[in-house]
Amino acid sequence: MSEKKVPYKIYLEESEMPRAWYNLRAHMKNKPAPLLNPETLKPMTAEELSVVFCDELVRQELDNDTAYFEIPGEIRDFYKMYRPSPLVRAYCLEEKLQTPARIYYKFEGNNTSGSHKLNSAIAQAYYAKNQGLKGVTTETGAGQWGTALSMACSYLGLDCRVYMVKCSYEQKPFRREVMKVYGADVTPSPSDTTNVGRKILAEYPGTGGSLGCAISEAVEVATSTEGYRYVLGSVLNQVLLHQSIIGLETKTAMDKYGIKPDIIIGCAGGGSNLGGLIAPFMGEKLRGEADYRFIAVEPASCPSFTRGEYRYDYCDTGMVCPLSKMYTLGSGFIPSADHAGGLRFHGMSSVLSQLYDDGLMEAVSVKQTDVFRAAEEFARVEGILPAPESSHAILAAVNEAIRCREAGEEKTILFGLTGTGYFDLVAYERFHKGEMVDTIPADEDIRKALDKLPKV
Ligand SMILES: *Cc1c(COP(=O)(O)O)cnc(C)c1O
């Protein structure tokens, strides 16, 4: 089929939407390392995990063998309100860059929460409701996850308590209010409502908080409140499983037009959108059916893959969560309060960490000001106002397309456009005023945090 026939947007029919999530772990030779109990250093059992997470999600978390999990009908119905999401051929960006490369992006910003996070939020809320729970607790950084979860909870009639990183709570009143529209209870973190919050406040008075710290608070509330469980918007195996809907839809749409990507790019915070986008493609690579280049893009201010170490670490600052083996900068690492809010996590999904360690995936880190330059270039030709997180992937895709131009190569590039940037206009303003700085942590700051890693 000739390339000219590819439309600007490839939409799937409702009937073509995936009916099952794909569990990439089933086809990994080297499975991701198990979560460890922080006290005994033994693998977490389903029983131990079920104090924190609801039962079906524990099952999904621990299952490294089942390749497909059927998506319950009620979740599929919810998906239909904002999915399938379009796969866009970036004709205008190609033209602007004068590149022979063909560029595609999967756009996940077409819902009120403005990101892919809703794909997992509805699944997690559904299983909590199904178990007869009263509510869920969580943390949110930039606010996308909290917004997505509050939408899912209000749809299903579940209480939603969100611990929001304090600097975001103060800098992003709009996200906070959207969460309240959907009925969520939002608390700035660290707060004096939990033991761990009070401890962190005493140690670091005036801190703007971090994701790791908000996680500790949300877990404490979930495990000490009857009828509540904790839910997490990224990093965990179950979240990557739910996000596989992104890659499955993309693969179906590409197959329809006979398109095969050479390079697949995604931004990486905790790894859920990237893990979801690459899942079916990486599956083919693992099974020896096809080959692709995969590139994770992270901010230079929080470079877990490119400057971290592959070790067991805590997922939270308060060290109450299980230990996860992952590329990490150390749970004590507090990244600069720059604007890629959703990419400010010290660690990374253990699935992606294992794939990266096995040399199946590449990673690059990029600077904030370059990211915003790429974001603006993209907005001006493609129309969509991208989220700063997503713009990390845009920048890497643009760089690859320019490389293709210089080498005269007709590669096909696919990237994940995870969300929109309407709530990030303060960051855009700082960029326009020339006030945005590129913060790159010193080796010794990373060393200091890594030295505090548990000895496992
Ligand atoms: C949260 C978020 C990310 C990063 O999270 P991952 O789990 O790494 O996908 C990227 N883009 C947007 C818009 C987000 O909200």
Among 203, 230, 257, identify where a domain stops: 230
Residue 333: what pLDDT?
87
What is the DSSP secondary structure assignment for residue 310, as one 8-state letter?
E
From the CA of 249, how far away is ligand 1's center (Å)? 18
From the CA of 202, how far away is ligand 1's center (Å)? 31
Residue 235 falls within a domain, yes or no? no
Please indicate, yes or no, whether residues 288 and 221 belong to a single structural domain of this protein: no
Compute the distance between CA of residue 382 and CA of residue 379 in angstroms, rounded to an integer.
5
Residue 415 amino acid letter: F
Please indicate, yes or no, whether residues 39 and 10 belong to a single structural domain of this protein: no
Please enumerate, as own/partner, the contacts of 74-79 that have beta carbons within 8 Å and a separation of 24 or more: 74/126, 75/122, 75/123, 75/126, 76/17, 76/19, 78/122, 78/126, 78/152, 78/155, 79/17, 79/119, 79/122, 79/245
Nearest partner of 368 among 318, 313, 439, judged by Cα: 439
Please indicate, yes or no, whether residues 138 and 7 belong to a single structural domain of this protein: no
Q: What are the strands, taking DSSP E only, across 231-380?
A: 263-267, 293-299, 309-314, 323-328, 362-366
Please indicate, yes or no, whether residues 270 and 190 belong to a single structural domain of this protein: no
Please indicate, yes or no, whether residues 413 and 327 belong to a single structural domain of this protein: yes
Please indicate, yes or no, whether residues 174 and 96 belong to a single structural domain of this protein: no
From the CA of 2, how far away is ligand 1's center (Å)? 34
From the CA of 184, how far away is ligand 1's center (Å)? 20
Sequential pLDDT tens for the chain (456 residues): 444 589 999 999 999 999 999 999 999 999 999 999 989 999 999 999 999 999 999 999 999 999 999 999 999 999 999 999 999 999 999 999 999 999 999 999 999 999 999 999 999 999 999 999 999 999 998 899 999 999 999 999 999 999 999 988 988 889 999 999 999 999 999 999 999 999 999 999 999 888 888 989 999 999 999 999 999 999 999 999 999 999 999 999 999 999 999 999 999 999 999 999 999 999 999 999 999 999 999 999 999 999 999 999 998 777 778 999 999 999 888 777 666 667 878 899 999 999 999 999 999 999 999 999 999 999 999 999 999 999 999 999 999 999 999 999 999 999 999 999 999 998 999 999 999 999 899 999 999 999 999 888
Among 230, 254, 279, identify where a domain stops: 230
Among 230, 254, 272, identify where a domain stops: 230
Compute the distance between CA of residue 63 and CA of residue 2 in angstroms, rounded to an integer.
42
Residue 360 falls within a domain, yes or no? yes
Nearest CA to ligand 1 atom 7: 272
Structural domain total, the chain: 2
Nearest CA to ligand 1 atom 2: 342
Residue 321: what pLDDT?
82
Residue 167: what pLDDT?
87
Please indicate, yes or no, whether residues 109 and 129 belong to a single structural domain of this protein: no
Beta bridge partners of 105: 88, 415
> Are the CB atoms for 301 and 338 separated by under 8 Å?
yes
What angle in degrees, to the nearest 10, is found between the helix axes of 425-432 and 368-382? 110
Residue 455 falls within a domain, yes or no? no
Please indicate, yes or no, whether residues 291 and 312 belong to a single structural domain of this protein: yes
Residue 1: what pLDDT?
44
Please indicate, yes or no, whether residues 98 and 158 belong to a single structural domain of this protein: no
Nearest partner of 264 among 408, 416, 387, 403, judged by Cα: 416
Q: Which domain holds residue 189?
A: 20-70+117-230
Best residue among 105, 106, 116 to mutate for probing ligand 1's pocket (most ligand atoms within 8 Å of CB) is 116
Where residue 61 sits, what CATH number does that domain have?
A: 3.40.50.1100
Nearest partner of 326 among 403, 381, 271, 257, judged by Cα: 271
Residue 2: what pLDDT?
47
Q: Which helix (H) or strand (E) holds 170?
A: helix 166-171
Residue 236 falls within a domain, yes or no? no
Please indicate, yes or no, whether residues 269 and 316 belong to a single structural domain of this protein: yes
Residue 340: what pLDDT?
63
Residue 184: what pLDDT?
98
Ligand 1, pocket residues at CB < 6 Å: 115, 117, 144, 234, 267-274, 342-343, 387, 389-390, 418-419
Residue 77 falls within a domain, yes or no? no
Best residue among 165, 343, 344, 417 to mutate for probing ligand 1's pocket (most ligand atoms within 8 Å of CB) is 343
Nearest CA to ligand 1 atom 1: 342
Q: Which atom of ligand 1 is nearest to the CA of 420?
A: 13
From the CA of 200, how far away is ligand 1's center (Å)? 26
Please indicate, yes or no, whether residues 172 and 250 belong to a single structural domain of this protein: no
Residue 211: what pLDDT?
81
Please indicate, yes or no, whether residues 250 and 398 belong to a single structural domain of this protein: yes
